[in-house]
């Protein structure tokens, strides 16, 4: 019988929290049999905003864009290896644009039942400017969202998975 | 890592004592050294000056966002300084700068770096909020204004 979770999207942004999220997603995909998609979004919206705000020079925008491309490849490769080490094949998705909107598009495109993201800030600010992309995505997507916490516990869960 | 998680009174200097662009950068790096967030002052200083040489990060309306990538920090690192009297940071509009957000990031964390800078850009769009920051009397007040916990 097919369980309630068939397709999982885990969002990877290059942070330690996102790697923990990926490890938990791998454990969950293995135990449920769900298909796992790892998504990295190159934040071209923020790059454009930083050029408009004149925080970035045009040359800096190009440089950071190349860095983000390289980061995307490196982190997606890392997550694929983490999954392969535990005998799980995953699909890597690299997108560009406004992060929370791209996350929503992928959730819809792959009919995800669950979005998994890394731990959010422990401080709950009243300032809207501090809603980061993960929080915006959490509010926007139509599916359930799992926020992964406790890095050490997650590591133990991942480590205990059969290879 | 969200920008909020980087903010604490230890990384905030109010008021800045410096009177020049280079001195502000040095003073904020010293704040990070004292907070245990930075180990190699010279490498970070050189990286920031190299970025400034390409074009000032002193923006309009009294805000400056000196930033650089360096492998001498382990994670995204922020220091904040307030200069109520204003400092000539060779800003784009030629006016003095009052609010300084200095950010250092490891080369392999461009995603969080860009998102944090983007949050600063959004935050400083509010002129009334920037005025409140300029009037803050100490680091705790700045941290409280920035975080405004629920």
Q: Rounded to 5 degrees, what are φ and ψ at B95?
A: -95, 165
Domain boundaries, chain A: 7-155
- Return d(Cα B76, Cα B82) in angstroms, integer: 20
Please write the tens of the pLDDT for every residue from A31-60: 999 999 999 999 999 899 899 988 999 889
Q: Residue B5 CB: number of other CB atoms within 10 A?
A: 19
Q: Which of these, A115, A18, A147, lies nearest to B1 by C-alpha position?
A: A18
**Residues A7-155, CATH architecture:** 3-Layer(aba) Sandwich (3.40)
- Please give the average per-residue pLDDT across A71-85, as a whole number: 96
Q: Which of these, B48, B15, B56, B1, lies nearest to B139 by C-alpha position?
A: B15
Whether the CB of B94 is below 8 Å from some CB of chain A: the reply is: no
pLDDT of residue B101: 97
pTM above 0.90, yes or no: no
Cβ <8 Å between A130 and B92: no
A–B CB contacts, 8 A cutoff, strictly below: 100
Whether the CB of B85 is below 8 Å from some CB of chain A: the reply is: no
Whether the CB of B120 is below 8 Å from some CB of chain A: the reply is: yes
Instruction: Compute the nearest-CA separation of A111 from chain B (Å).
Output: 26
Q: What ipTM describes this predicted complex?
A: 0.84
Q: Which of these, A52, A26, A37, lies nearest to A102 by C-alpha position?
A: A37
Please write the tens of the pLDDT for every residue from B96-149: 999 999 999 998 888 888 988 988 888 888 889 899 999 999 999 999 998 875
Residue B113 among the catalytic residues = no
SS3 percent helix, strand, coil of chain A, rounded to 5, is: 50, 20, 30
Rounding to the nearest 10 degrees, give the CA dihedral for residues B39, B42, B47, B50.
170
Residue given tokens 């992964």 in the structure block: A148
Q: Which of these, B66, B60, B61, lies nearest to B24 by C-alpha position?
A: B66
Instruction: Compute the nearest-CA separation of A126 from chain B (Å).
Output: 6
pLDDT of residue B150: 47
Selected catalytic residue, list B25, B67, B91, B113: B67
Answer whether residue A130 shows pLDDT above 90. Answer: no
**Is the backbone peptide bond immediately before A66 cis, with ω within 30 degrees of 0?**
no
- Please give the average per-residue pLDDT across B64-88, as a whole number: 94
Instruction: Compute the nearest-CA separation of A92 from chain B (Å).
Output: 17
Stretch among A3-12, A56-65, A123-132 having the lowest mean pLDDT: A123-132
């Amino acid at each position: 019988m097919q369980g309630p979770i068939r397709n999982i999207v885990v969002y990877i942004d290059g942070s330690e929290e996102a790697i923990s999220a990926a490890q938990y997603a791998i454990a969950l995909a293995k135990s449920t049999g769900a298909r796992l998609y790892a998504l990295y979004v190159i934040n071209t919206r923020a790059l454009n905003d930083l050029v408009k705000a004149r925080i970035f020079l045009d040359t800096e925008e190009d440089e950071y864009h190349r860095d983000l491309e390289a980061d995307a490849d490196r982190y997606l490769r890392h997550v694929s290896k983490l999954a392969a080490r535990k005998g799980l094949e995953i699909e890597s998705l690299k997108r560009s644009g406004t992060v929370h909107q791209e996350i929503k598009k992928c959730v819809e495109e792959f009919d995800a039942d669950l979005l998994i993201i890394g731990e959010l800030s422990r401080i709950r600010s009243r300032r809207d400017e501090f809603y980061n992309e993960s929080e915006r995505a959490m509010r926007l997507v139509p599916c359930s969202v799992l926020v992964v916490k406790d890095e050490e516990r997650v590591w133990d869960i991942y480590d205990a998975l059969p290879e | 890592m969200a920008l909020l998680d980087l903010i604490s009174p230890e990384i905030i200097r109010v008021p800045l004592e410096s009177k020049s662009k280079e001195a502000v950068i040095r003073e904020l790096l010293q704040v990070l050294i004292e907070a245990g967030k930075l180990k190699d002052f010279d490498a970070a200083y050189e990286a920031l000056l190299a970025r400034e040489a390409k074009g000032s990060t002193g923006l309009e309306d009294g805000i400056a966002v000196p930033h650089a990538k360096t492998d001498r920090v382990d994670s995204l690192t922020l220091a904040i300084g307030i200069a109520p009297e204003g400092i000539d940071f060779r800003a784009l509009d030629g006016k003095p700068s009052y609010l300084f957000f200095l950010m250092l990031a490891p080369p392999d964390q461009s995603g969080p770096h860009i998102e944090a800078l983007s949050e600063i850009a959004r935050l400083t769009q509010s002129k009334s909020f920037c005025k409140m920051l300029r009037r803050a009397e100490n680091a705790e007040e700045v941290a409280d204004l920035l975080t405004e916990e629920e």
